[in-house]
């Protein structure tokens, strides 16, 4: 659909991820390492789940029957979500175990990064890689002159794909924060909730092309997760009000820096 749509969808899908990367990750080499390693872990989970999908399709002789194809798709999505969460947990364990090594290579004595920050970066890594894999294929096809629709699909395909990718990227970030917090405090119900929400979002995407049924609920879940992640990473309503009132009391700043 030409260059305008290409750039529009690219900005929609990767705008927030780009902004987060530029303002929070880029200056700290440790965070870059954790980000890339997180992306790699997501990639590993995708590799394994695609192998399972491959074998499943081959085993069912190519899945020519549409209902069987749909069933296989649902199974594939379910399995992929579970694998992603397993790898998130694995990454958590790895990061905890690697604390010593990371402390050794950092400039100052001890680690300059907290688990909460690692959680955020890991989640962002997962989100960026997930977004890239969802969107790059579609972006390259959006460069041509045609738009989706000649076989009856909706013509808003590119925009909704970009919006979905945006939501997923942010969702992965928030899930990372909440998940690691849950693992730290050994609150297993938190982990279960994250997995359940991830499954719910994946299931909602299966409702496409009924975009009204998939996008608004996903954005609702994203807002919910944003709030949850805010509170679980140390934010509080007191801080928010302090933020607003701080504007009228600039001199309190030096108090916080002790």
> What is the binding site for other proteins (CB under 8 A)?
1-2, 4-5, 7-12, 15-16, 18-20, 22-24, 47, 51, 53-54, 57-58, 62-63, 99, 103, 110-112, 114-116, 137-138, 141, 144-151, 153, 155, 157-159, 162, 166, 230, 233-236, 239-240, 242-243, 246, 256-257
Name which of 111 and 193 has its Cβ closer to other proteins: 111
Q: Considering the complex, what minimum distance in angstroms separates the CB of residue 215 from other proteins?
A: 14
Q: Considering the complex, what minimum distance in angstroms separates the CB of residue 14 from other proteins?
A: 8
Name which of 195 and 222 has its Cβ closer to other proteins: 222
Q: Considering the complex, what minimum distance in angstroms separates the CB of residue 159 from other proteins?
A: 6
Alpha carbons 230 and 51: distance in angstroms, whole number? 36
Name which of 196 and 234 has its Cβ closer to other proteins: 234
Q: Considering the complex, what minimum distance in angstroms separates the CB of residue 74 from other proteins?
A: 16
- Per the listing, tokens 């954790």 go with 34
Nearest to 122 by CA among 165, 202, 183, 48: 183
Q: Would you give the DSSP letter of residue 25? A: I
Alpha carbons 209 and 25: distance in angstroms, whole number? 35
Q: Among positive and negative, which fits the CA dihedral 87, 93, 94, 96? A: positive
- Per the listing, tokens 């300059």 go with 112
Helices 157-184 and 188-205: crossing angle in degrees, nearest 10, is: 170
**Cβ atoms of residues 179 and 194 within 8 Å:** yes
Q: Considering the complex, what minimum distance in angstroms separates the CB of residue 230 from other proteins?
A: 8
Name which of 60 and 203 has its Cβ closer to other proteins: 60
Name which of 2 and 133 has its Cβ closer to other proteins: 2
Residue 112 CA to chain centroid, in angstroms? 24
Q: Considering the complex, what minimum distance in angstroms separates the CB of residue 59 from other proteins?
A: 11
Q: Considering the complex, what minimum distance in angstroms separates the CB of residue 20 from other proteins?
A: 6
b/e per residue 155-164 (b: at least 16 CB within 10 A): eebbbbbbbb
Alpha carbons 88 and 162: distance in angstroms, whole number? 24
- Per the listing, tokens 């790059």 go with 136
Nearest to 122 by CA among 194, 47, 50: 194
Name which of 177 and 195 has its Cβ closer to other proteins: 177
Q: How many CB atoms lie within 10 A of CB 76?
A: 17
Name which of 75 and 239 has its Cβ closer to other proteins: 239
Element spanning 252, H or E: none
């Amino acid at each position: 659909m030409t260059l305008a749509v290409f750039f529009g969808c690219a900005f929609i899908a990767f705008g927030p991820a780009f902004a987060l990367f530029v303002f929070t990750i880029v200056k700290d080499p440790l965070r870059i390492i954790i980000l890339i390693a997180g992306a790699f872990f997501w990639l590993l989970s995708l590799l394994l789940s695609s192998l399972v999908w491959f074998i499943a399709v081959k085993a069912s002789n190519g899945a020519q029957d549409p209902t069987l194809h749909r069933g296989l798709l649902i199974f594939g999505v379910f399995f992929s979500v579970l694998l992603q969460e397993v790898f998130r947990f694995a990454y958590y364990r790895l990061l905890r175990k690697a604390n010593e090594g990371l402390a050794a290579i950092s400039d100052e004595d001890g680690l300059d990064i907290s688990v909460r920050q690692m959680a955020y970066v890991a989640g962002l890594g997962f989100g960026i890689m997930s977004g890239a894999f969802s969107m790059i294929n579609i972006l390259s096809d959006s460069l041509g002159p045609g738009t989706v629709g000649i076989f009856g699909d909706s013509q808003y395909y590119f925009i909704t794909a970009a919006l979905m990718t945006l939501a997923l990227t942010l969702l992965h970030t928030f899930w990372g924060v909440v998940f690691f917090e849950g693992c730290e405090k050994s609150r297993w119900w938190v982990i279960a909730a994250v997995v359940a929400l991830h499954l719910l979002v994946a299931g909602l995407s299966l409702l496409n092309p009924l975009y009204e049924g998939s996008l608004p609920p996903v954005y609702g879940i994203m807002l919910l997760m944003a709030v949850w992640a805010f509170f679980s990473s140390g934010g509080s309503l007191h801080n928010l009000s302090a933020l607003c009132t701080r504007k009228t009391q600039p001199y309190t700043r030096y108090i916080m820096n002790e």
